[in-house]
Amino acid sequence: MARPTTRAGPLCTEQFGSQAARGCCAAADGSLQWETWGWRWWGFSGAGTANPGGRDAGEGGAPGTAFPTLSRLLAVFLPQGFPDSVSPDYLPYQLWDSVQAFASSLSGSLATHAVLLGIGVGNAKASVSAATATWIVKDSTGMLGRIVFAWWKGSKLDCNAKQWRLFADILNDVAMFLEIMAPIYPVCFTVTICISNLAKCIVSVAGGATRAALTMHQARRNNMADVSAKDSSQETLVNLAGLLVSLLMLPLVSDCPSFSLGCFFLLTALHVYANYRAVHALVIETLNEGRLRLVLKHFLQRGEVLDPTSANRMEPLWTGFWPSLSLSLGVPLHRLISSVFELQQLVEGHREPYLLHWDQSQSPKKESWVIIKDTHQVLDKLFPKFLKGLQDMGWKTEKHQLEVDEWRATWLLSPEKKIL
């Protein structure tokens, strides 16, 4: 059926996010006619454009989408306004995260089967009270571990979200391995599953906290709740698929422990690889200690500032928990000085709102004051250029992910000077 010809140019245009633009024209019969001018498609490699074609998605859908049903289905699992409402690394991260969640779901089914077998499910001689006591001890151990870990490492999880995310998933694999091995050594069964549950509770703290930090990074329109909710929907769908596959897998492996263990190792390898690819795909534009060290080293060597993509690709993911340099921010004065003379030496000759201190165990005290003064002079000269370079390359300098304690000092003799 031929489309009526228009009598005039476009009356107005509309656009659905970064999707296709379309124009409203007056048709020959006086009705409105909508012309789609293009669309965008998205995949692993990012965005691309295609010539106009297909049909409109209809009311409530994105214009210019060739498959309106698929578009509506994706809207169930993607944040509103995707891809503009999320960070550019959202799609590759979520795809690899879905792969690791699927592998983890299958491994979890094998581990749960082993734990139930060890407790005595299916064994007529097993005592219900003994199984209940074992379960209570297991849960209690995990609860205590959750509290202690949150107190011990809670403040560090934001600073190294990618590293702790990877750590949490690997520790989860270790916990499931212990659960699978527990029935093989019945004498140590209770101790083994208590250790396993302790590890899983640490995983829940580290994984949940880092997930929140990554959601904050991915949400670009104050839409953290939407991004988090859609991430939960994606994970639920993946876990449902994992459960369905587990129903087919468990009868095949239940009577063969060696085959079950082999499947677990294959799934664990896939899980670790997918997790590594997921966190490696993240490009976080704020500086933590690891990224700051890389950017500073490059700047001092070449006079250029690394862009966020390059710095994130170079950031260590396996050893990022243990920095090679000891950097402490916001420490009490007694850790820096032991006398009024030392305090005077630290503040003499500069009026910046912070104190620097060199570890005196690394050099004689007199040499230490010289190093500090020289450092202040170098910083005063280089920092403005460094800060401008960070901003020009796309780093977010209004916030950071450095671990800073709460100690602050104010000079009473000079109220305008505050030492951080």
Angle at 277 between CA 197 and CA 208, to 5 degrees: 35
3-state secondary structure of 343: helix
Q: Which of these, 38, 41, 72, 63, lies nearest to 53 by C-alpha position?
A: 38
Per-residue pLDDT of the chain (420 residues; tens, 9 = 90+): 445 554 456 667 777 666 666 666 766 666 666 666 554 444 444 444 434 434 444 444 444 445 677 778 788 999 998 889 999 999 999 999 999 999 999 999 999 988 888 776 655 555 677 777 877 888 899 899 999 999 988 888 888 999 999 999 999 999 999 999 988 888 888 899 999 999 999 999 999 999 999 999 999 999 999 999 999 999 999 999 999 999 999 888 877 888 888 999 999 999 999 999 999 999 999 999 899 999 999 999 999 999 999 999 999 898 655 555 677 888 888 887 778 887 777 777 666 777 887 766 655 556 667 777 788 888 888 999 999 999 999 999 999 999 888 888 876 655 444 444
Q: Which of these, 138, 242, 140, 265, lies nearest to 192 by C-alpha position?
A: 138
Q: Which of these, 200, 44, 173, lies nearest to 103 by C-alpha position?
A: 173
Angle at 186 between CA 183 and CA 187, to 5 degrees: 150
Q: Are 97 and 165 in contact (CB under 8 A)?
A: no
pTM, entire model: 0.79
> Which domains are delineated in the chain?
1-36 (no CATH), 90-281 (1.20.1250.20), 289-318+326-419 (no CATH)
Q: At what angle do helices 257-281 and 161-181 cross, to 10 degrees?
A: 180
Pair of tokens at residue 174? 């270790």
Cα-flanking dihedrals φ and ψ of residue 410, to 5°?
Answer: -125, 130
Q: Are 321 and 330 in contact (CB under 8 A)?
A: no
Pair of tokens at residue 215? 């959601």
